[in-house]
A and B are shown apart, each in its own frame.
Chain A
C-alpha cells in the first residue's frame, strides 16, 4: 500500500479549475518532485494534500484512509503531514526555538523541558545550533528556511511537503537547504516537493511529475522524464527550463 494516494483530485477556485483530475501515488520513503510552469497548480496540489484547501472531487488517501472526507477534523491530519512554504512563514514574534516548539506544545501537549533536548539536537543537525534564540528577522533566508523545516519536522510528520522552498533564496543559499532534503531522504522520509531545481530533481527524486494546467501530463523516474520525455509539452517545458 502506498503512503499517499491522490485519486482524480479536482480543485476549483470559482469557475477556474486548478487541479483537473490529479492522480498521484507516493510510496513510503519516496521523494516525488512536481515540476511545471508557474501557475500549473503545483502549490495547490500540496495545499490540498495538507487540507489547507478543500477539494471539489476525488479523494486523498493517507495510509489508505481517505483524509479528504468533508467534515473530517483537519488538525489531526495536518499534524501528520508537514509543509514548508516558499516564503518560510516563520512567526516573526517568536524566536526560532519558540517557532519550533509551538505546535508540539499546543497540539501534542508536550512541555518545553521535554522537548528541549530533542529540538536542540535537530537545530544542531541542521547547522542552526547558535541560532535557536534568534528572531526570524535576524536570520538569513537559508537559515529561516531551515528553521521552517525543523518546525515542520518537530511534529514528527509521516509525510513532508515542500513548496518551492528554495525559490526565494539567494543562489548561494540554495545548496544548504537542498542538503537538508538529501539528509531527510536518507532517513527515509516520504516527501513531495514542488521545485524549479531541475538538477536537484534529477539527482534526488524517485519520481518526477510534470504538471500543466492542473494535470499531470507525464510522470516517471528522473532519467526517463528528463532524458527521454514522451510528451511534446514536457519536452517544450524542459527545453525552456534547462536553458
Chain B
C-alpha cells in the first residue's frame, strides 16, 4: 500500500477533527439546555417578579448608571496611586526579607513581621484601624483625609502579599544564574539588580496582575470610612430609590474592567507555562 504523505489530511488528523466537532456539538447542546432551563424555570419561581423589580429594573439602571460611572472614577483614582506604591513597597520588603548582611538584620525581622501582620488581618479591619485610628490622633485637614489613610491601609496590606509573590519570583530564578553572575566578579547587589530581579519580576507578572485585579475590587472597602466611591454611591441610590438595581449596575461596571484584566492575566500565565514547557 502506498500513501502520498503530502496529499490530504492523515488518518490521525481526520480522527482528531472528528473528535473536535463531537466535543463542540456536546458542549453546545448542554449550554443551550442549561440556558433554556434558566430562562424557563427562574421566572416560574414564586418571588421572581419581585426580584426582577428590585434587582433588574431597567429604568433604575439607566437612571443611576452615569452617576455610578462617575463615582467609579474615585475607585480608579485610589487604585492609580495605590498600585505603584504597592509595587515599590512590596519589592523593598521582599528585598529586605532576603537580605543577608548582618547590619540589615533588623530590616529582615521587620520585613517578616510586616508580612505576617498584614497578611494575617482582614483587609477591612486594617482599613478601619488605620482609616479611623490615625486621623483620630487629632490630625487636622488635609492630613485627616480618609483617602490618605484608607489608601495607606490598602497599600500596607497589598504590599505584604505582593512582597511574598516577589520573593517566590526571586526563588524561582535558578541558582546557577547567581553563580554565573558572581563568577564574573559582580557584587551580590549587582547580581540581584541586573540578573536575578529582572527574571524574577518577569516570572511573577501574571500573579501580580491578579493582585491588581483584587486591589481594584478592594478599593471599595474604603467606602466604609468615608469616600463616596462606586459601592457607596450605589448604596446611596438604593436608599433613595428603595431598589437594589444600582448594586447590579456597580457589579457590571466592575466586571467590565476585571473580566478583560483576568483574561489577560490568564493568557500571560498560559503563555509562560508554554514557554517553560
Contacts and interface: CB of A to CB of B under 8 A. Distances in A.
Interface of A: 47, 50, 52, 74-76, 78-79, 82-83, 85, 87, 89-93, 102-103, 106-107, 148, 151-152, 155
A75 B183 contact: no
14 contacts: A75-B186, A78-B184, A78-B185, A83-B183, A85-B179, A85-B180, A89-B177, A92-B199, A102-B181, A103-B184, A103-B186, A148-B180, A155-B184, A155-B185
A89 B190 contact: no
A75 B179 contact: no
B190 to A, nearest CB: 5
A239 B186 CA distance: 42
Interface string B183-197: 111110010001100
- DSSP class of B's interface residues: helix, strand, loop or mixed? helix
Residue of B176, B183, B198 with most partner-chain A CB within 10 A: B183
Given A75-B186, A75-B187, A151-B184, A91 B176 contact: no
A89 B177 CA distance: 6
B271 interface: no
A82 B183 contact: yes
Contacts of B202: 93
B179 A52 contact: yes
Interface residues of B, number: 17
Nearest to B184: A103
Nearest to A151: B184
Contact of A76 (B184, B185, B190, B198): B185
A83 B199 CA distance: 22
Nearest to B195: A91
Contact of A91 (B179, B180, B183, B190): B180
A100 B247 CA distance: 57
Contact of A79 (B176, B184, B198): B184
B182 A78 contact: yes
A166 B12 CA distance: 39
Contacts of B179: 47, 52, 85, 89
A78 B195 CA distance: 17
A75 B177 CA distance: 16
A83 B176 CA distance: 12
Given A85-B179, A152-B184, 15 more contacts: A52-B182, A74-B182, A78-B183, A83-B183, A85-B180, A89-B176, A89-B177, A89-B179, A91-B195, A102-B194, A103-B185, A103-B186, A106-B186, A107-B186, A155-B184
